[in-house]
Amino acid sequence: MIDGRLAGTWTRRILASAVEIVVDRAPQLTTADRAGLDVEAAAFGRFVARDPRVLVKT
């Protein structure tokens, strides 16, 4: 969600020491959008006790 609108989908794969988060069909992300995505990925990484790795596909 960006500004209250659906902006793409995501999947996650939990690995031994990391969680891989793939964002698909995302629009061109602004610097602020990407920073917000990284904050949320870090929170999810803490939740699953893994280091987050984020890949954005457009």
In a domain, 50, yes or no: yes
The one-digit pLDDT tens for each residue of the chain (58 residues) are 677 777 778 899 999 999 999 988 767 788 988 898 899 999 999 999 999 999 988 7
Q: What is the number of domains present in the chain?
A: 1
Which residue matches tokens 């990284």? 38
Q: Coil, helix or strand for 17?
A: coil
DSSP 8-state assignment for residue 9: E
Backbone angles phi, psi at 52, to 5 degrees: -80, 140
Please give the structure tokens belonging to residue 6. Answer: 């659906």
Q: Model's pTM, two decimal places? A: 0.81
In a domain, 46, yes or no: yes
Task: Please give the residue range of the domain that contains residue 49.
Answer: 9-56
Question: How far does the chain reach from its first CA to its final CA, in angstroms?
Answer: 15
User: One-letter amino acid identity for 24?
Assistant: D
In a domain, 37, yes or no: yes
